[in-house]
Structure 1
Amino acid sequence: MTELFQTTAQQEYQRATTQFKNSKDANAALKKSYARYDNLIAVAVDESPTKPECKAGCAFCCHYKVEARAHEVLLAKDYIRTHFSAGQKAQLVERLTANAAIIRTLTPEQHLLTNIRCALLDNNQCSIYPARPFRCRNFHSTDAQACEASFNHPDDMAIATGMIEGVAILADAHTQGFEAAAAQTGRDNRIYDFTTALLEALADDQPLKRYQRGKKAFQQGIEVVAE
């Protein structure tokens, strides 16, 4: 573990911990953490001689398996609630339901090697971009052709899409710093499959209520068990 990683993770842990102490609203703390993250990564990319080839409309990576913490799923739900019309939400639920049906037939390993178009894609752009999970934020590529090759051959794990090392270190460190702070609140810190958990979150407010009581937030969403 590098000094850069340790310093970045500790700084985010301290900031997020302070915000959790001052407010029990996990959404507010996560929004502020996302803002700090975006600023941190923007500076790191600007200072790097190598640049990501990611751009709006390039969505090869938006077919990958995505995992998220309960607070990330609940913030995504809140964004959908305030930014989507009733018709848009209904269409989203249909796409999530279809994706979830596929995901439930796959083992975690099979899911990793299977392209499933994210239900949140709209014209090849993320419809909840400001509220997307850390896992989505952390991904970037320095080789768009490799991304396309990986998309065309999802079972070939040897294809390297390339990442900027310094940016990747900062992204992971910031993420882990916030997650460590969130864990101190005593709320659900499990990892879930994003699709199945979001589908459950959109059904009613029970996941939020369970989360606020320190219980397991999602009963239907697939829990990712670390090996």
Structure 2
Amino acid sequence: MEQRVRVHRVRLGGSEVRVVRSAPGPGATGLALRDDGHWLSMYADREGADRLAALWALAARSSRSLVHLPLRNGPAPRDGAGGGEPVALDLVLLHHSLRFPTSSWKEVRARLGAGTPHTVSLPDDDLPDPDAVDHERRHHRTYRDRLGFDVAAHTLFVVGSSTAFREEGAALRDFAGRAAAHRRRYPASPHFCVELFPGPRGRGRTRRHVPGSLHIEYRDDRERTA
């Protein structure tokens, strides 16, 4: 998995914040993220699904960086779910050990500047196969490697440990690898998706009233709006 990124360093108080920002190039519109009120909805084409999985794998490795995907301008399908007007969001992936205050993100984002271009190469199997994840561990009371969600400054923050990103990323790897083939094989039933949850499943909203699920749906180029 190879991704073009830009690395930014911003002084915040007495510390430095390192932001790794996705830089897929002009015309890349393969991802969109919306807060539909009841849940969070992401739409991905084949290129977008691959990019999301790659940057998710990068986040699992990058315990000292915020991985930023600027998605607010990504076109979303007109038939997206939700009863009200969806709110467009960016995405930031970060480790809880950073203790980054999400309320500071607006200030950090405004000061990112041009950054320094980099190309990041990750092994194709950097995220595990779903069959390699011990899902039974998640039912133990002592299990702590869960993702957390927060929303600030029109940005969804997904927060977790390296283990949480890798284990949840297994589903993203499977989604990216199977989505296009599923659509070709089952054209009469085209819906193909994956869902990620903060904390234990079944919570309608988090303590900060953020929707309690992220629904990622595959959409090809013909189904995106302009």
Q: Same fold (TM over 0.5)?
A: no
The structure showing larger relative contact order (alpha-carbon pairs under 8 Å, at least 6 residues apart) is 1
Given the two structures, how large is their TM-score scaled by the length of structure 1?
0.26
Higher normalized strand content (fraction of residues): 2
Question: What TM-score do you get using the length of structure 2 for normalisation?
Answer: 0.27
